[in-house]
Amino acid sequence: MKVYYWILTVLLVVTLPSVVAAHRVNLFGYVEDGRVVLDAYFVDGTKAKGALVEVFERGTGKRLLQGRTDDNGSFSFRPPAPVDLRIVLTASMGHRAEYTITREELLGGSGVSNEGVQGGETVSEPSRREVYSLGEQEIEKVVERVVRRELGPVKSILLKIQEAHTRPSVRDVLGGVGYILGLMGVAMYFKRRK
């Protein structure tokens, strides 16, 4: 009878982390046209509808605004100030996720930059006639700069996803421990049988 309890305990230890991870909530954000856009969903793909979103200034912890996700698990807002943001999402049953958007991402996504200022003086925009007279190299530089600015948030999101997947999760660690305990149990079974 004790063997059954032992086997049941091992099965619970091995399978419980996967059940818990199946309900984890994910939160991703990016800056587009001066707005922060957030998408929230559970691991199984279900949208986090009506989840509470709180936006804090990362340095001071001051809450800047709050709201709720729509039926698509989305929420967007204009940042009140160009500061580092810590965004906290609280979904049903206490599921929680955090996401950080830096000041640089906000400034890059809003089109605000220091490119038009040199030595404290504003550089005027070229006229249409001057734009058409640009050479191939100048056009290539302008296109590179625009593409780099637009792809910056995408790179940031991809790096955060990659970072999250390279670290061993609690589920991985407990799965490894369960695997070792299972091998020990099999070894003890055959040793005892002799």
- Domain segments of the chain as ranges: 2-111+130-193
What number of other Cβ atoms are within 10 A of residue 100's Cβ? 13
How high is the pLDDT of residue 164? 65
CA distance 187 to 190: 5
Could you please state the CATH topology (level 3) that the domain comprising 2-111+130-193 is classified under: Immunoglobulin-like (2.60.40)
Average pLDDT over residues 91-97: 87
pLDDT-derived band at 126 (thresholds 50, 70, 90) equals low
pLDDT tens digits along 55-89: 999 989 999 999 999 998 999 999 998 999 999 99
> Whole-model pTM?
0.53
Q: Which two tokens stand for residue 90?
A: 């609280």
